[in-house]
Structure 1
Amino acid sequence: MKLELSLVVTAAICAAAKPLSKAGPSRNKLLLISFDGFRWDYDQDVDTPNLDQLVLDGVKAKYITPPMLTMTSPSHFTTITGRWVEDHEVVHNMMFNTTTNLKVPHKQTLTRSEWWDNGVLPLWITAQNQGLKTASFFYPGGGANYSGQAVNRVRVEAFDHQDDNETEWRQNIDTVMSWFSEDNFDFVTLYYGEPDNVGHAKGPDHPDRKTIIQQIDRTIGYLREAIELHQLSDSLNVIITSDHGMTTVKKRPLVDEIILNKYLNLLKLVSFEILDYGGFGILTPRPGKQQQVFDALSKAPNLTVYKKDQIPQSFHLGRSERLPPIVVVADLGFNLNSRFIVYVNKGDHGFHNGEMDMKTIFRAFGPDFRRNFLSKPFDSIHIYPLMCKLLGIKPAPHNGSLAMTEDMLLPRGGSHRPPASLAALLLTLLTFAVL
C-alpha cells in the first residue's frame, strides 16, 4: 500500500513540476495597445487601481523614450517596425510632397500606402509571412499595403471619429477578444486616440486630462475581465504603451511666441514648409537660399535649426531622403508659428525626445511576462524584437535589441505554479501517505 501511494505521490510531483501542455501552437498570442499621448507620469496624480494592479501582475518600465520625431505616425511606425525614422521614412503625421506642395491631413494619410510603404516591413506583414494571422484596429500604418500585402484584418479610423467614447472603447475590446478567441488571430494592434486629444485641447495639467486617465484605467479593468471571459488568460500577452508625451504650450503674455516670418521672409526664401504643428518644423529653401534661411533662423530665440546633413546622429533622422533640408526643433513648450499665431492648442508634442515631458509609458502582462517586475527605461525601438520573441517569429531587419527587454520575460517554459486542483490533490495524497 505504501509503495503504491509513493508511486502516486511521485507521479503527482512530476506532473506539478512540468508546465501543462497547451493544445495547438506552443506560442502565445499578443495584443499591443497604444494610448496616444499617454505621458509617462500621467497615472501618478490620479487614482488608477487597474494600472496599479498591473505593476503587481506584470512588468512596468519607469518610462520609455520615443524616437525623434515625437509625433503619432513616426513613433507608432518605429514601434511596429523596429526601425528609426530615417529608415522607415514616415517623417511626419502628414503626407507631403515638397515639389508639388501637397499636404494631406493626418486622418487621410492613414490609408495612403505611398506614404507608409518604403521598403520596411511592419510586424503585421512579417508575422503573416511566417504563417501567423494579424490584425490592426485603428493603429497607424495598419491601413496601408506593403509591396502589395495587406494586414489580414484592418479597421481604420474615420475622419470624424470620436476618440473619447468609453462605450465604444469597450466594444472595441470585445471585438478584439473575439478575433483572438473565435477567429484565432495571433497578433492584434489596438489604438486609442486619448489622452492625446484632451492634452492638446486642455493641456496636460487640466482636470479633464485626469478624467480621461481614469477612463483609461477603467478600460484596462474591462480588458482584464474580457480576457478572463474569453478564456485567454493563459495564452494572451498584452503590451500597453504610447507614442509620445505632452507638454504645456507657452503663450502670451507669459512669453513671446515664435513667429518665424519675423526672422526671414518665408514667401521669398522658402518653397515648402510645415510649421504650426507643435515643436517640430521642416522647410525647403528656394534654390541657392539654404544658407540664408539657416543663418536667419539661427538668430531666432527658443529654437534650434539644423541642416539635415548636420543633424545629430542621436536623432536618427539625417539619412532620410524624404526629410526636407532644414529642420527646426523648438525649445520645450514653444510652438513654431510661421507667419501668424494661429495655433490654438494648449498642449503639444514634437519636441526633443530627451525631454521628460516627451517620455511615455510601458506596461506588459501575460503568461510570458514576469510579475511585479520594474524594468529600467529603454527606447521604444526595442519593443519590436520583444514582440518577435513573444510571437516566436524571425524578425525583419531592425535597429532594436532584445537584450534591452528580455529580462522582463519568464525563463523559457515559464515558471507558473501548478493548478490549484493539482496542488490540492498532491496535498491530499501526501497527508494520506503520512497517516
Structure 2
Amino acid sequence: MKMRPQLFLVLMAGLCVTSTPLKKSEDKKKLLLVSFDGFRWDYDQDVDTPNLDQMALDGVKAKYITPPMLTMTSPSHFTTITGRWVEDHEVVHNMMFNTTTNLKVPHKQTLKRSEWWDNGVLPLWITAQNQGLKTASVFFPGGGASYRGQAVNRVLVAEVGHPDDNVTEWRQNIDMVMSWFSQEDFHLVTLYFGEPDNVGHAKGPDHPDRKKIIRQIDDIIGYLREAIDRHNLADSLNVIITSDHGMTTVKKRPQVDEIILNKYLNLLKLASFEILDYGGFGILTPRPGKEQEVVDALSNAPNLTVYKKHEIPESFHLGKSERLPPIVVMADLGFNLNSRLIVYVNKGDHGFHNGEMDMKTIFRAFGPSFKKNFVSEPFDSIHIYPLMCKLLQIQPEPHNGSVDATKDLLWSGGEPQRAGLSVALLLSVLVSSLWFS
C-alpha cells in the first residue's frame, strides 16, 4: 500500500497551517465596549427584546454582574475601564468635590476635569495607545480627561443638557464608530448611552416608560449588528455590552419616614463638609474632635448605616481611599438621604449596597473570540478589564481583576474560531487515503 506523495504533502501542509497560532498584527481583533447607564440585570425580562435575545444566542451572557461599591456612574465606569477598585482609582463620587474648599462640581461638568480622573491609574485607552493601538471614546465617563498628560486619540464628551434618548443620534454615533473601525483602523472604542438611567430616575424602574426605553435599546442593538455587517466587521470586531449599576424604586409613600439627617445632629455645628442629598450614599467631614459625636448621632437615624472610613468593611474596597471624607453613610435599599430639607425628587435611584439584586447589571458579548449560546455564572465588573486586555492582545496595567473569572466566555485561549480543516478531519482523510491507495 503506497500513498501518493503529492497528497501527503498537501495534508501535512494543512496540519501545519491549522496548528499555527495567529501572530501577525493584522490578525488582532478590534473591540467595542458599549455601556447603557442604569441597565438593571432583569430589565429585558418583562419586555419583548428580540435583538438582545438573538445576541445571547450568537454570543455569551452572564446571569448578572456585580458593580463595585460605589454603585454610581463615574466610579463604576472607571472600575470597568481600569480594572481597579474605587479606593485605588479614587473616582469616589459622581460629583467632583474638595472637602477643604467645599467645591462641588456636578457630574457632567466633571467629564473634562482631568484633576478628578487622573490619580495615577491608567485607563485602558491610554494603555492600549502606549502599545500601538488607536482608541476612541464617545461620551464614556473618563474618556474626556488626560492621564499623565496623554489624551485619548479621539473623544466626544456630552455637554450639560445633552439629551440622552435621541435615537437618531444613537444611530449616527454607531455609524460613526463603525467607520472608525473599518476606515481608520481604530482598535478600541468605548460608546456610552445615558439610558435607561434617566428614565429610571425620573419615572422609576417599574414605569411603562422604562419598558419603552428598553425596547428602544433593543432596536439600537439590532441596528448595531446590521452596521457591523455593512462595514464587514463581523470577523474582526468583538463587542461587549454592559452597564454601571442597576436601579431601585425610591420609597416615597406617606407611611415611609424620609431620612432627614439634621433631625439627629446639628450639621452646621458638627460638620464642615457634606454631600448628603444624592440618593443612597452620603459623605461627611466632621469638625475637629467631633467625629465620634457625629457617628453616635447618625447611628440613631433609621434606615441607614454609618461608617468611619477606616472601619468600612474590606469587601467594599473603599476604606483605603485618601479622597473619601472620614464618615460614609449608606441608606437601606430604596431610602434616600436628605441633609436638612426634603429636596429629593427621583422616583428611582442607585448608590446602594452592591450586594442588593436591584444594583446588579448586565453583561453580553459577541464576536469572533466569544463562544455562542453560552450563559455564565455571575461575576464582578472588575474582571471586565483583564478580559478586554486579552481580547486586544495587550499587556495590562496592574489591576484587581482576574482573567480566570471570564475565561469560560472565550474560545480556547481567547483565539477566534478559524476556517479550514481541523486536525482530526485531516487525520481522517490521511487514514482513508492510505487505506484505499
Shorter-normalised TM range: over 0.9
Does residue 345 (structure 1) correspond to residue 346 (structure 2)? The answer is yes
Task: Tell me the residue number matched to 1:69.
Answer: 70
Task: Tell me the residue number matched to 2:102.
Answer: 101
TM superposition shift of 1:229:
0.5
Superposed CA deviations along residues 328-348 of structure 1, whole A, max 9, x for unmatched, are 000000000110111000000
CA distance 1:230–1:73, change in 2 (3 Å): same
Task: Tell me the residue number matched to 2:152.
Answer: 151
CA distance, structure 1, for counterparts of residue 21 and residue 397 of structure 2:
31
Partner amino acid, structure 2, of 1:105: P
CA contact (8 A) 1:19 1:416 kept: no
Task: Tell me the residue number matched to 2:262.
Answer: 261
Partner amino acid, structure 2, of 1:98: T
Does residue 194 (structure 1) correspond to residue 221 (structure 2)? The answer is no
Task: Tell me the residue number matched to 2:243.
Answer: 242
Superposition map of 1:76-95 within 5 A: 76-95=77-96
Superposition map of 1:158-177 within 5 A: 158-177=159-178
Task: Tell me the residue number matched to 2:417.
Answer: 415
TM superposition shift of 1:55:
1.1
CA distance 1:311–1:211, change in 2 (3 Å): same
CA contact (8 A) 2:369 2:417 kept: no
CA distance 1:145–1:21, change in 2 (3 Å): closer
CA distance, structure 2, for counterparts of residue 267 and residue 297 of structure 1:
14
Superposition map of 1:353-364 within 5 A: 353-364=354-365
CA contact (8 A) 1:65 1:378 kept: yes
Superposition map of 1:379-390 within 5 A: 379-390=380-391
Superposed CA deviations along residues 49-98 of structure 1, whole A, max 9, x for unmatched, are 01001111111000000000000000000000000000000000000001
The runs of 4+ residues in structure 1 deviating greater than 6 Å are 18-23
Task: Tell me the residue number matched to 2:274.
Answer: 273
Task: Tell me the residue number matched to 2:137.
Answer: 136
CA distance, structure 1, for counterparts of residue 24 and residue 47 of structure 2:
41
Task: Tell me the residue number matched to 1:218.
Answer: 219
Task: Tell me the residue number matched to 2:313.
Answer: 312
1:25 is paired with a residue whose SS is helix
CA contact (8 A) 2:306 2:329 kept: yes
Partner amino acid, structure 1, of 2:373: N
Report the more deviating stretch, 405-414 or 64-73. Answer: 405-414
TM superposition shift of 1:254:
3.3
TM superposition shift of 1:288:
1.0
Partner amino acid, structure 1, of 2:131: Q
CA contact (8 A) 2:295 2:307 kept: yes
- Unmatched runs of 5 consecutive residues or more in structure 1: none
Superposed CA deviations along residues 155-208 of structure 1, whole A, max 9, x for unmatched, are 000111100011110100001001111110010100000000000000000000
Task: Tell me the residue number matched to 1:124.
Answer: 125
CA contact (8 A) 1:19 1:418 kept: no
CA distance 1:170–1:12, change in 2 (3 Å): farther
CA distance, structure 2, for counterparts of residue 239 and residue 9 of structure 1:
39
Superposed CA deviations along residues 264-292 of structure 1, whole A, max 9, x for unmatched, are 11111111110111110000111111111
Superposition map of 1:19-58 within 5 A: 25-58=26-59
CA contact (8 A) 1:19 1:414 kept: no
TM superposition shift of 1:15:
9.7
Superposed CA deviations along residues 89-108 of structure 1, whole A, max 9, x for unmatched, are 00000000011100001000
CA distance, structure 2, for counterparts of residue 398 and residue 132 of structure 1:
20
Instruction: Give me the CA root mean square deviation.
Output: 2.2
TM superposition shift of 1:16:
9.6
Task: Tell me the residue number matched to 2:396.
Answer: 395
1:396 is paired with a residue whose SS is coil
1:281 is paired with a residue whose SS is strand
CA distance, structure 2, for counterparts of residue 16 and residue 145 of structure 1:
43
Equivalences, count: 422
1:225 is paired with a residue whose SS is helix
TM superposition shift of 1:25:
2.2
Task: Tell me the residue number matched to 1:325.
Answer: 326
TM superposition shift of 1:8:
10
CA distance, structure 2, for counterparts of residue 14 and residue 393 of structure 1:
28
1:211 is paired with a residue whose SS is helix
CA distance 1:145–1:13, change in 2 (3 Å): closer
1:131 is paired with a residue whose SS is coil
TM superposition shift of 1:375:
1.0
CA contact (8 A) 1:32 1:190 kept: yes
TM superposition shift of 1:299:
0.6
CA distance, structure 1, for counterparts of residue 242 and residue 350 of structure 2:
16
Superposed CA deviations along residues 312-363 of structure 1, whole A, max 9, x for unmatched, are 0000000000000000000000000110111000000000000000000000
CA distance, structure 2, for counterparts of residue 174 and residue 12 of structure 1:
41
CA contact (8 A) 2:368 2:417 kept: no
